[in-house]
């Protein structure tokens, strides 16, 4: 197994076990977008994000009014197609350092 495959395997597990259902669903969708990727930068960005405190991740995604959380950060946006009508995330933001 290559280094990228190992990283993706660990990342898939982490994306599914953040501990808050809304985040688990959102991050599983994000992972689906990059699981066949060879883009080290995107993989690294997602790894960095899922290592942050779960409450901070929740605030970034579901409380956009908390601009101070995002202040000074460069953002990379993954556009996500919604197949259902529930409001479980929409566009997904990944923090880039």
CA dihedral 91, 20, 36, 78 (to 10 degrees): 10
For CA atoms 12, 49, 58, 18, the dihedral sign is: positive
In the predicted model, what is the mean pLDDT of the chain?
Answer: 75
How many domains, in total, are found in the chain? 1
pLDDT tens, residue by residue, 28-65 = 988 998 888 888 888 898 898 888 888 888 887 777 66
Angle between helices 3-16 and 40-50 (to 10 degrees): 40
Domain that includes residue 71, residue range: 3-96
- What is the structure's pLDDT at 9? 94
């Amino acid at each position: 197994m290559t280094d990228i495959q190992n990283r993706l395997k660990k990342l898939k597990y982490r994306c599914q076990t953040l501990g808050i259902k809304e985040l688990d669903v959102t991050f599983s969708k994000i992972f689906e977008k990059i699981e066949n990727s060879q883009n080290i930068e995107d993989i690294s960005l997602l790894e960095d994000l899922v290592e942050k405190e779960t409450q901070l991740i929740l605030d970034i995604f579901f409380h956009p009014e908390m601009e101070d959380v995002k202040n000074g950060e460069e953002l990379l946006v993954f556009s996500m197609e919604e197949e259902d009508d529930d409001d479980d995330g929409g566009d997904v933001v990944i923090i880039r350092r």
